[in-house]
Structure 1
Amino acid sequence: MSAVIKPTLPSLDSDYSLTQEQIQQYQRDGHILLRGVLSPEEVAAYRAVINEGVARLNWETRALDKRDTYGKAFLQIGNLSERAGEDAARFTLARRFAKIAADLMDAGGVRLYHDQALYKEVGGGHTPWHQDHHYWPLDTDQTITMWMPLVDASTAMGTMRFASGSHREGYLGDLPISDQSEETFRKFVVERGYPVVESGEMAAGDATFHSGWTLHGAPGNLTGPTREVMTVIYFADGASVSAPVNDAQENDRHTALGGLAPGELAASASNPLLYTRGE
């Protein structure tokens, strides 16, 4: 029997050029949509790898109507770079993504926090308004999430919406993704007059980047296909672990930060330095 030859995955080390206007836009609004971060060929190659990992690691078997609001929002599979093999890790650890994150935050270097596949099933519910940084015990405001669809995605499939400028508010309370966060933050956005900006239709390989404090959410998936999205979270090199203020942060202290104690440098084996300016 002849050996199966595995195709070589494309390298993701080359630069994606940002303009100064794009960097200023991100720092002003707390989010930005970037087109063509991956080419069609690149995203197709890594989609196959990520889908295999998601299928193998997904534990959710309940029907949608048996889940709570969080469970209806998406299938969530974390740490694919550690759990799904070397090929998935090449996506998460890509220099191209890390450099974008560093440039947008004007950081000297960035480390990996963790990755997550967020697959919104057919009929999947809305993702309530929330702040990502609510879940992260990191003593820095320089955190950023890359959100990339692996398939062409319309607004009706559940692409992102942001409250522009809301990142300047910082921490807005212990509100995990829930019906309560949706109602509280929806009213907050209206009362403060923050414009709601939708990413709209996105091609596979486009990506949004948003600050950990930026209020955001997504509508439900009203279309036929699953909304396949991969996210990678980064933080500025030099950040420390903060004392967890909720159970989610205590869990992340172990699963994303290697069990480091509060006050220690956030640089566990799970948080490699992915890009340093001037390297």
Structure 2
Amino acid sequence: MSYPISEQQCANFARDGAVVLPGLLAEHELEATRASLDRALDRSDNYFRRLRAWEDDPHLRYLCCDSHLPAVVAVLLDTSKVNLFYDQVFTKEPASAAATPWHNDQPYWPVRGAGVMTLWLALDDISMESGPLEFIAGSHRWDRWFKPFVAASDGSAEREYEAEAHFEPLPDFDSQRQQHSILCWELQAGDAIAFHALSVHAAKPNISSTRRRRGYAVRYAGADVSYHEGPANNPRLLNPDLQHGDPLDSKQYPVVFGAN
């Protein structure tokens, strides 16, 4: 399967830092991805995350590395090379009251460079009641790095952790909503949101009494991105085969588009 990206979608991504890609997964891909992720989920948690699931699952490996997804990323980032950084499973079960606070992703990660992004794949229909993502349009162009937080078991912020000196305290964006353009979309299963790693975003609580909200986030990096030794939220994101300043090309961060 190929997926054409329009000039308007590229322009929206560059301007806003987030854009919807309707029907990025075909029905058979959606069903296979649901089956793979359901095997990975711990249903005892109302809010569940798992990292690097692609390494243990043939379908997820195909989806992340060999499907049309890397080519979509290459177009949006306008890059000649794409590395898979990692993947992450998210689920919010029905009546999960906690919201995911505002943050941007790249301060959590051991990578530096402008070309870092996520494809966030909706595995269920997502309404305004079932925990949709929100984005502050254009925030990726602020070049502001906000202090990461340690997430509690329900996905809410538990505490900040030690970060680099130039990282800023997180403003109270909820009290500043009128000052920003907030993007929030209802999605159909198989749709995706492409967003930049510095885009400030959050997720509403899942207040639906019946609807699960499963999301599959695949993180990618372009040719300008290098490894950065420093604070990272999860040791599983660190790469023992790389040193500070190295290109990402490695077993853990494979090249999935373009030449080595």
Q: Shorter-chain-normalised TM-score: which range? A: 0.7 to 0.9
Q: Note the alpha carbon deviations across 1:95-125, whole angstroms, 9 max, x for none.
A: 3111111111111121000001101112222
| Cα distance in 2, alignment partners of residues 154 and 163 from structure 1 | 19
Alignment partners' CA distance in 1, 2:253 and 2:191? 25
Q: Distance in 1 between matches of 2:37 and 2:229?
A: 33
Q: Deviations over 1:18-54 (max 9, x none)?
A: 11111011001100011011122321122112211x2
- The counterpart of 2:139, out of the listed 153, 162, 166, is 166
Q: 1:260, 1:157 → 2: CA distance?
A: 39
Matches within 5 A, 1:93-112: 93-112=65-84
Aligned partner of 1:239 in structure 2 is: 225
- In the TM superposition, residue 184 of structure 1 has moved relative to its aligned partner by 2.1
Counterpart CA distance in 1 for 2:53 and 2:110 is: 20
Mapped partners of 1:252, 1:166: distance in 2: 27
In structure 2, the residue corresponding to 1:112 is in which secondary structure?
A: strand
1:46 aligns with 2:33: yes
Q: How many residues align?
A: 243
Q: Match of 2:111, SS? A: coil
Matching of residues 13-32 of structure 1 within 5 Å = 14-32=1-19
Matched, 1:216 2:201: yes
In the alignment, structure 1 residue 196 sits paired with structure 2 residue 186: no
Contact 1:110–1:276, Cα closer than 8 Å, also in 2: yes
Q: In the alignment, residue 159 of structure 1 is paired with which amino acid?
A: P
Contact 1:32 1:209 in 2 (8 A): yes
Q: What TM-score do the two structures reach when normalised by structure 2?
A: 0.85
3-state SS of the aligned residue for 1:154?
A: coil
1:181-202 CA-partner distances (Å, limit 9, x unpaired)? 89724168548x3200101x21
Instruction: Establish whether residue 225 from structure 1 lines up as the match of residue 211 from structure 2.
Output: yes
Deviating above 6 A after TM superposition, structure 1's stretches of 4 or more consecutive aligned residues are 179-183
Taking the aligned partners of 2:86 and 2:28, their CA distance within structure 1 comes to: 25
Higher share of residues assigned strand: 2
Q: Distance in 2 between matches of 1:61 and 1:259?
A: 34
* Higher Cα Rg, which structure: 1
Q: Name the TM-score, length of structure 1 as normaliser.
A: 0.79
Provide the secondary structure at the position in 1 that maps to 2:83: strand
Alignment of 1:248 with 2:233, yes or no, is: yes
Distance 1:96 1:264 in 2: 27
SS at match of 2:233: helix
Quick one: percent identity of the two aligned structures? 23
C-alpha separation in 1, matches of 2:170 and 2:109? 22
Across the aligned residues of Structure 1 and Structure 2, the Cα RMSD in angstroms comes to 2.4
What is residue 120 of structure 1 aligned with on the other side?
92
Q: Deviations over 1:176-222 (max 9, x none)?
A: 2526789724168548x3200101x2111100010000000110111
Q: Which amino acid aligns with 2:196?
A: S
Q: Is contact 1:149-1:203 (8 Å) kept? A: yes
- Aligned pairs (5 A) from 1:112-151: 112-124=84-96, 125-151=98-124
- Report what 1:205 is aligned to: 190
Higher helix share: 1
Any stretches of 5+ residues in structure 1 without a counterpart? 1-13, 65-73
CA distance in 2, matches of 1:206, 1:110: 21
Match of 1:152 among 125, 134, 137: 125
Opposite residue 243 of structure 1, the aligned amino acid is: E
Distance 1:235 1:185, change over 3 A: farther
Is 1:261 aligned to residue 243 of structure 2? yes
Q: Counterparts of 1:196 and 1:209 in 2: how far apart (Å)?
A: 15
Query: Is the 1:138–1:239 contact (alpha carbons within 8 Å) kept by the matching residues of 2?
Result: yes
Alpha-carbon distance between aligned partners in 2 of 1:25 and 1:32, rounded to the nearest angstrom: 6
